[in-house]
Structure 1
Amino acid sequence: MTDVALVLVTGSSSGLGRNTANALADDGHDVVIHVRTPARLTELGDTVRWKGAVTGDLTDLDGVRGVARQAAEFGRFDAVIHNAGVLHAPEALTVNTVAPYVLTALMDKPARLVFLSSSMHRTGSTDLRRLTEGPASYDDTKLWVTTLALALASRWEGTTSHAVDPGWVPTRMGGPGAPDDLAAGHETQVWLATDHNVMPNTGGYWYHRQSQSPHPAARDAKFQAHLIHVLENHTGVPLE
């Protein structure tokens, strides 16, 4: 049995984020959900089951900063699951890579960080001029957020960090014909956020609770440092 955890899940209004938040709440955890606008809260039904909610548009840096300010009102989280994601440019860069970076930099360091990746990160580009000058593809953004997750794995004492490939599941983004199991799409995130028996305890790239090998660049210390430097300059938000 795990202890009750305080967990923030971004992109909670539908799909994997909603399923993740529901599973955590069903297990008795204190869940803070994130939705783009207050109107989206009505789509989640009984809001009494949530510890709270934060709102903000993650395609906009001011919106991301607002989410960080609201999250600070709950204190230090046991886990933050960076679930929010979009498929198409130009929003993909901000939502999939920049927002997780800025939120991580601005919020109190949680005990656990979980970042949503994708198997498509393996065809992403290591040319970080795409981050600042464009165009950046979905694959690029997922390689970069995977790299960020693994870069953070040993950066802060008391904080673990993992990346998760949830599979190609039948959500609004994945489409009705997606072949992977929908339930398995959120179970790894819940496990990483709450279980005390995760091995490796930090720096893992996971698919359905199995450790996998990511794109080699994601574990390359020089590329990790370069990515963080570019993100700091691009956003004006230092990581430390």
Structure 2
Amino acid sequence: MARVFITGSTDGLGLAAAQSLVAQGHEVVIHARSKSRAAEARLARDGGVNVVTGDLSSLAETLSLADQVNSIGPMDAVIHNAGIYTTPERGSTAEGHATILAVNTLAPYILTCLIDRPQRLVYLSSGLHRGGEGSLADIDWKRRSWDAAKAYAESKLHVAAIAAALARKWPATICSAVDPGWVRTRMGGQAAPVDLDTGQRTQSWLAVTEEAEAKVSGGYWHNRTRQTPAHEVTDVEFQEKLLGMLHDLTGIALP
């Protein structure tokens, strides 16, 4: 039995992955954004589930979340699932991008730095990462005209590059990135062609399987098949520049 922590796991792909892993007999730690969402998760949970809370758009709450996870004990795997596409409720484009950057890029980096290192790390990317174009010149969108789709694509490029960098830096940890496809979630919409169960299978499999192909670090996966990501993902210079920027933005160094 493995112990797996999944961010953003009270609904959508994260919840589907949690349910799949619990059904297989694994222990799952669910992440809820707020105490009210945590209460809902506790009411709906099956056996083998712990719930931790923290809003990933908040640095303080993300730091607290890492402490909560570490207090439970060592994780065998962490699935960095949480992500957002656009935030119209935030009002201004500056606030919207700050939230996308915080949740999709900074939070996975911070949690990776601060959660006791597991045996496996899985990062939810997207096929849209290829539209990120590798620009790190204005990572926080202070100079460019706002483009939510581009910001999302860049954030998914970031997490794929983080996974590849960690595969290089941490050889004892199996690090992978996953494109789950366009899935019928609240973010993906009901017109999406991929159902939740199909969308969660690859990351759940990577988190716990003993199959040899899944234990080769550094892969970018879709439908349990390794694929070739955008060239920036495996570019060491790009990886190092990105990690340096994330260090500067958060004040937290990668161990």
| Distance in 2 of aligned mates of 1:232 and 1:103 | 13
Match of 1:168 in 2: 182
How far does residue 196 in structure 1 lie from its aligned partner after superposition?
1.2
1:216 aligned residue: 231
> 2:113 is aligned with what amino acid?
A
Please give the TM-score of this superposition, normalised by the length of structure 2.
0.89
Q: Does 1:43 align with 2:17?
A: no
Cα distance in 2, alignment partners of residues 189 and 174 from structure 1: 17
Conserved 8 A contact 2:4-2:26: yes
| Structure 1, unaligned runs of 5 or more | none
Deviation per CA, 1:149-185, whole angstroms, max 9, x where unpaired? 1111121142110000000011000000001232110
The offset of 1:62, in angstroms, is 0.9
Return 136-145 or 23-32, whichever deviates more. 136-145
CA distance in 1 between partners of 2:79 and 2:209 (Å): 14
Structure 1 residue corresponding to 2:128, chosen from 120, 125, 132 = 120
SS, match of residue 214 in structure 1: coil
Write the deviation string for residues 131-161 of structure 1: whole angstroms up to 9, x where unpaired.
2444561001001111001111121142110
Of 152, 155, 159, 2:166 maps to: 152
**Of the candidates 3, 10, 29, which is equivalent to residue 13 of structure 1?**
10
2:90 aligned residue: none
More helix by share: 2
| Distance of 1:110 and 1:75 partners within structure 2 | 10
In structure 1, the residue matched to 2:114 is 106
Gap change, CA 1:6 and 1:107, over 3 Å in 2: same
**Distance of 1:133 and 1:230 partners within structure 2:** 14
Query: Identity over the aligned pairs, expressed in percent?
Result: 44
Given candidates 42, 61, 66, the residue that maps to 2:64 is: 66
Alignment partners' CA distance in 2, 1:58 and 1:25: 24
Query: Are positions 1:206 and 2:221 aligned together?
Result: yes
Segments of 5+ residues of structure 2 without an aligned counterpart are 87-95
1:83-130 CA deviation, whole Å, 9 max, x = no partner? 000002422111111000000001111100000000000000322132
Matches of 2:52 and 2:60 in 1, distance apart? Answer: 14
CA distance in 2, matches of 1:46, 1:124: 37
Q: Within 1, Cα distance between the matches of 2:103 and 2:179?
A: 17
**Matched position secondary structure for 1:73:** helix
Answer yes or no: is 1:26 the counterpart of 2:23. Answer: yes
- Deviation readout 1:11-69 (Å, 9 max, x if unpaired): 01110000000101111001000000121123333435244111000011111101001
Say how many residue pairs are matched.
Answer: 237
* Greater mean deviation of Cα atoms: 211-220 or 179-188: 179-188
Task: Check the 8 A contact 1:41/1:47 in 2, yes or no.
Answer: no
Distance across 2 between alignment mates of 1:76 and 1:34: 16
Residue number among 101, 111, 116 corresponding to 1:93 in the alignment: 101
Whether the 8 Å contact between 2:101 and 2:140 is mirrored in structure 1 is no
2:212 & 2:33 partners in 1: Cα distance?
Answer: 31
Matched residue, 2:198 = 184
Query: 1:154 touches 1:160 (CA, 8 Å); kept in 2?
Result: no
1:148 alignment partner AA: I
* Paired residue type of 1:111: Q
Structure-2 separation of matches of 1:131 and 1:61:
17
Of 214-223 and 134-143, the range deviating more from structure 2 = 134-143
After TM superposition, the runs of 4+ consecutive aligned structure 1 residues lying more than 6 A away are: none
* Alpha carbons 2:78, 2:122 under 8 Å: kept: yes
Normalised to the residue count of structure 1, the TM-score between the two structures is: 0.94
